[in-house]
């Protein structure tokens, strides 16, 4: 049986009382690591944005900035594929390195948007994320179909974003933002439900908590960035 099976039969069988505490502990670890990653990302982003020399280095060396983005993409792909085969220390360190790299590349939002609008968007996103995660964790409805639909939408968002780099269409960018919010709204609920299924099936063994934290971290960050396009106020 697939340890990550998310069919209704595997997810909603009665949980023995003895395992409830273990599942709760697993979920706390996963959400705790997600929070740690977000905190590190925010701290690095604020630190880089507030350092004039660091900003100038990134602005004057676009290849460095794109190199960091490629490194981020490579690391998240590597983690998604190999994290369960890594030692706990290596998996944790890799997740934190990815979070820090993301902080460097996200530092530019503090230069493009006002601090007030960033804070407002963050709290709105946090509220949405918390509600969606609660729904995903507690609902008895199988969200696998929504997850598959959201993944297809994600592919569409990526392809449209690439096209948008050349077309420079405000209408296209608006459409991408709307679809992006919908996609990561669905993925948040789906990944929260999948995380609980992982806890039930795997008992929180190995690096599952870090894997779950990575998925939730990506959901939160991307939902925040798409929401920022609607709620963010640009600097003059």
**pLDDT tens digits, 175-194:** 888 999 999 999 999 999 99
Q: Average pLDDT, whole number, for the chain?
A: 85
Q: Give the confidence band of 203 by pLDDT, cuts at 50, 70, 90.
A: low
Higher-confidence position of 189 and 235: 189
Q: Where are the domains of the chain?
A: 18-231
Output the pTM of the full model: 0.87
Check residue 44 and give its pLDDT: 95
DSSP assignment of the chain:
--TT--SHHHHSSPPPHHHHHHHHHHHHHHHHHHHHHHHHHHHHHHHHHT-HHHHHHHHH-HHHHHHHHHHHHHHHHHHHHHGGGS-HHHHHHHHHHHHHHHHHHHTTHHHHB-HHHHHHHHHHHHHHHHHHHHHHHH--S--HHHHHHHHHHHHHHHHHHHHHHHH--HHHHHHHHHHHHHHHHHHHHHHHHHHHHHHHHHTT-TTHHHHHHHHHHHHHHHHHHHHHHHH--B--
- Considering the chain, what percentage of its residues have pLDDT values greater than 70? 90
Mean per-residue pLDDT, 118-123: 95
Residue 51 has pLDDT above 50, yes or no: yes
Check residue 66 and give its pLDDT: 86
Check residue 204 and give its pLDDT: 53
């Amino acid at each position: 049986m697939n340890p990550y099976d998310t069919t209704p039969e595997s997810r909603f069988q009665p949980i023995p009382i003895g395992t409830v505490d273990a599942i709760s502990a697993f979920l706390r670890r996963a959400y705790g690591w997600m929070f740690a990653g977000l905190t590190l990302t925010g701290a690095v982003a604020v630190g880089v944005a507030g350092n004039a020399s660091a900003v100038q280095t990134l602005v004057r060396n676009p290849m460095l900035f794109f190199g960091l983005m490629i490194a981020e993409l490579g690391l998240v792909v590597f983690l998604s594929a190999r994290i369960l085969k890594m030692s706990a220390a290596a998996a944790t360190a890799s997740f934190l390195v990815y979070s820090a790299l993301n902080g460097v590349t996200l530092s530019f939002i503090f230069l493009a948007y006002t601090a007030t609008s960033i804070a407002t968007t963050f709290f709105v996103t946090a509220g949405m994320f918390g509600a969606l995660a609660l729904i995903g964790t507690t609902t008895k409805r199988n969200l696998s179909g929504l997850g598959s639909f959201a993944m297809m939408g994600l592919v569409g968002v990526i392809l449209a974003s690439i096209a948008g780099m050349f077309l420079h269409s405000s209408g296209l960018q608006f459409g991408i933002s709307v679809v992006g919010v919908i996609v990561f709204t669905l993925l948040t609920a789906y990944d929260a439900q999948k995380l609980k299924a992982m806890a039930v099936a795997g008992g929180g063994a190995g690096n599952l908590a870090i894997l779950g934290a990575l998925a939730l971290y990506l959901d939160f960050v991307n939902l925040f960035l798409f929401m920022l396009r609607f709620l963010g106020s640009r600097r003059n």
